[in-house]
Chain A
Amino acid sequence: MKSDAMKLIQGNEACALGALQAGCTFFAGYPITPASEIMETMARELPKKDGRFIQMEDEIGSLAAVIGASWAGAKAMTATSGPGFSLMQEHVGYASMTETPCVIVNSQRGGPSTGLPTLPSQGDVMQARWGTHGDHPVIVLTASSVQTTYEMTIEAFNMSEKFRIPVILLLDAIISHMRENITFPELEITNRKKPGDPDKFKPFFDETFLAFGEGSRKLVTGLGHDEKGFPETTNGTPSEDRLKKAFERLNQNLDTIVKYDHYYSEDADFLIISYGITSRAAKAAVDKLQAKGISTGMIDLQTLWPFPTDLIHDLSGNVEGILVPEMNLGQMVMPIRMAVEGRAPVQSMNRADGRLFQPDQIVDEIQKMQQNRDHHISKTKKSLY
């Protein structure tokens, strides 16, 4: 596709097109609203690129097939929504333990359980980080528009291939089904690094990778293992060492992993921290507040995990209040509060009724924060006299 061409497409289509652009050649999935169009688009488009598509018997099998495909050398992905994402947790852990590059898209809908099909939600942001058992490194990205869905899907593949890690892309029912005009910028594509000498290849030494059939007979296991992939379950040290190394790989590359957008965030009195579809309302709210002369800026978090602690900490030192609107009952506000460390008041703004925030609601909330601040200042002055 030409980079200057503009096209009116749906978020789910943008996700599929981004995946194809990133070099995805394998998709396995199971039908679920609001994610199904990603699978349908991949079913149609993959054969044209000599890729392979399969509709599996459930989401557990879908991610298993994706991991198998990845070890056979394909860039591979699956897409689902909350109930399917819950089923996939077993293999998010397996992918993490086996350092398998793969992309998992979760178009969030109201939960828990069958929940609110199909109203949007941002209720899976903690599950995306901690859903599978045990310590595990993971990258979680979000998108706030059809355009960024396309770009972040490519980013998800790039990070996954570069760091040999499962990357979770969180969309929601609105982003998935919304249609917007988008362009297709030429983005850099990252491919798996091959080891220098295949005979000396240790499958769990670093981010280099050899697929099955490429010469080095590998051992891949979900058990705690050493660099060669040999299980070590009576001595947990090699397993811990590998986990720490995988975390370290991310920590050393936070500059490239942490993605965010900002709007009037410098010198603002009030800061809105949001992500996904909520950032759209937040941005409109910032415009309205600026027009009213209330100095407000915003940060749109595109990388949720690893959490950009330093970024939020540094920003919090210069503001009088932080508002965190999210379509859940208060999840990302937790790491935000930890990062702020009390340097500014952090206000959580929540809804889990399957409706979007309206910009005016955010405007009202910031105005209340401003009034509280003024009231607090005047009260402090009174007590001084």
Chain B
Amino acid sequence: MPRMGKNLEKYLRQSIMPSPWCPGCGHGTILRGMLESFDRLELDLDKVVVIGGIGCSGRTPYFTNTNSMHTTHGRALAFATGVKMVNPELTVISVMGDGDSVGIGGNHFIHACRRNINLNAIIFNNSIYGMTGGQAAPTTPTGKKSTTSFAGSIESAFNVVELAMAAGATFVARTTTFDFQEIPNMISRAIEHPGFSVVEILSQCPTYFGRINKLGDATNMLDYEKDLTIPGETISREEMLGEMSVGVFREEIKPEFTDQYKKVYAKTEKENAS
């Protein structure tokens, strides 16, 4: 476990520990990265809302010492949309798993991307449904095994980065738990970005994905992540397609939804007042 300096402990809701995550799970690494980005940005925790869906990643909001919501499967972004619209001053972070965000929650995900509402979607991608015991996910790579694809998946997997970019997200990044120092960098950039941001983080699930695919223990799986990914900024967009590249793929400023609502509809408000 990475050593946690005293300064990060205040970002952790320690009264609720331990976590339900298995030994070797990558999600704790991502949580630590989140806490570090809170510290770097000196966020007022009273003004942060962390909203999780269902699954292993969905438990994350319990451990951030913020306003926390553990919602329903796939719907975290829809809840987050309501929170952000009513109070745009809040930093709203949605933590989701891969099945959570692009399986059952795929519709909410693409529409949040399309709206460019200033929410931060952090996707913990372990390529499998972990909490329910290792079933195939929409992110399980073709040929990889799960309890429901025991001879190897015959489906194509979603490339979350490509999906987010096609749907219109204005900040899109990917990293892995192997590149753990990149996690707080990317989450910090995502939080500061004034639009919808997506940070996909490949995370190891040694208990299910690792075991059934004979990938070894957690450290072997970190090597697997390293071998799987290539730095995205070193290759062209065409080459990136189909690759599990890492890096920031898009960072552009476009009109943000809650701002636009104010600008376009505030007129009505003034008209009414006059």
Contact = CB atoms under 8 A, between A and B. Distances in A.
Contacts of B189: none
Contact of A94 (B71, B89, B261): B71
Chain A CB within 10 A, most for which of B70, B82, B89? B82
B86 A221 contact: no
A270 interface: no
Interface in A79-123: 90-91, 94
A356 interface: no
Contacts of B90: 72, 212-213
B70 A221 contact: yes
A205 interface: no
A58 interface: yes
Prevailing SS type, chain A contact patch: mixed
Contact of A61 (B49, B70, B75): B75
A223 B73 CA distance: 12
B-side interface size class: 35 or more
A50 B62 contact: no
B264 to A, nearest CB: 9
A223 B58 CA distance: 11
A91 B72 contact: yes
A72 B86 contact: yes
Interface stretch (A62-70, A345-353, A377-385): A62-70
Interface string A44-77: 1001101010101110111011111111111010
Contact of A212 (B67, B71, B75): B67
B111 A220 contact: no
A218 interface: yes
Interface stretch (B131-139, B152-160, B265-273): B265-273
Interface of B: 13, 15-16, 45-47, 49, 51, 61-62, 65-72, 75, 78-87, 89-90, 107-108, 111, 261, 265-266, 268-269, 272
Given A47-B265, A47-B266, A65-B81, 9 more contacts: A47-B261, A66-B82, A68-B84, A71-B83, A212-B67, A213-B67, A215-B46, A221-B70, A231-B62
Interface of A: 25-26, 28, 44, 47-48, 50, 52, 54, 56-58, 60-62, 64-74, 76, 90-91, 94, 211-213, 215, 217-223, 230-231
29 contacts: A26-B85, A28-B81, A47-B268, A54-B81, A54-B85, A61-B108, A62-B78, A64-B71, A64-B75, A64-B78, A65-B79, A67-B82, A68-B69, A68-B81, A69-B83, A69-B85, A69-B86, A70-B82, A72-B83, A72-B85, A73-B87, A213-B67, A215-B46, A217-B67, A218-B67, A221-B62, A223-B70, A230-B16, A231-B70
